[in-house]
Amino acid sequence: MAKAKKTKKQVAQKAHSIVHGKDHDGAIRRTLIVEVEKLQGLKNPVLIEGLPGIGFVGKLAAEYMVETLKARKVAEIYSHHFPHQVLMEKDGTLKMLKNEIHLYKDPKKKRDLLLLIGDVQPASPEAQYEVINCILDYMSTNGINDVITLGGYSTGKMTEKPKVFAAVSDVSEIKNYKNIGVVFGETEGSIIGAAGLLIGLGKMRGVKGVCFMGETHGSYIDHRAAQRMIEILSKLLGLKIDTSKLTEKAKESEKIIRKIEEETNKAKQAMQPSEPVRPSELTYIR
């Protein structure tokens, strides 16, 4: 497979777009990256993905990093493939579901970080391919050729000291990660969604990638796995991140999610036994 070069023709037309906020009419008809700020003068940049997934390990870690490192939002990602919902915020406003890219400019000018976080991942293959390709186009446009994806590896067991497992796009990369305590060869199966596709589709376009997977039970929001993930990333990227508030934050998240869960169940119960039937559900003949 040839590496991505600008001169090579695109095989299929892109269904998505990247547009700067001030040039955009605001309509979200397809998948769309809306730039808040043009990226400029990046130093050896790497994109770190932490979208929702098993144990919320990646999301917790990446969002904590965004906050702690005071990264600033440079882009928003919208898609007609995201669930047709809006979130009720505490302040009484409504918020579109979206993903975001935040920039952390390395003060040592060694390696700038782009952090991809968000509310959701799309649910179908076609939607995932579209959104991931859109992100890879954004990376390509901005000269970002490295990606680190964060996820959870579900074991069904609680563990005191969770490991961080990994898988890479290129076998020669393994040595770079082993010496920071990342574990290879103890995972099997497949990686679903952005954490996998960013590596897989990225590799074909010349992007080098590693997926870090925090060992986790799978049924719980796991701040401990997220903490361990941040430690590994700090070692890798030469960052100093105080993870002490993560425990607290994770507990808070857990409380909210539990609450939401209860109410969702209540809502489900309320809606199922004798839900008002819409005319559209009648099916006498066909």
Query: β-strand 146-154 against 46-49: which pairing, if any?
Result: parallel
Burial (CB < 10 A; 0-12, 13-18, 19+), residue 127, is middle
Distance of closest approach, residue 256 Cβ to a copy of itself, in angstroms: 8
User: Which listed residue (156, 161, 179, 240) binds a copy of itself by CB under 8 A?
Assistant: 156
Q: Which is nearer to a copy of itself, 123 or 242 (CB)?
A: 123
Question: What's the CA gap between 61 and 67, in Å, rounded?
Answer: 10
Site for a copy of itself in 66-105 (CB under 8 A): 76, 80-97
| CA-based nearest residue to 58, from 130, 128, 169, 154 | 154
Site for a copy of itself in 212-271 (CB under 8 A): 213, 217-221, 257, 259-261, 263-264, 266-271
Q: Which residues pair with 153 in a beta bridge?
A: 215
Q: Which is nearer to a copy of itself, 128 or 243 (CB)?
A: 128
The DSSP H or E segment spanning 46 is strand 46-49
Question: What's the CA gap between 16 and 19, in Å, rounded?
Answer: 10
Q: Which is nearer to a copy of itself, 213 or 230 (CB)?
A: 213
Site for a copy of itself in 126-155 (CB under 8 A): 126, 128-130, 133, 136-137, 151-155
User: Which listed residue (192, 247, 248, 251) binds a copy of itself by CB under 8 A?
Assistant: 192
User: Which listed residue (43, 44, 110, 170) binds a copy of itself by CB under 8 A?
Assistant: 170
Distance of closest approach, residue 89 Cβ to a copy of itself, in angstroms: 8
Cα angle 194, 51, 150 (rounded to 5 degrees) comes to: 75
Query: β-strand 113-118 against 46-49: which pairing, if any?
Result: parallel
How many residues can be counted in the chain? 286
180 binds a copy of itself (CB under 8 A): no
Distance of closest approach, residue 49 Cβ to a copy of itself, in angstroms: 11
179 binds a copy of itself (CB under 8 A): no
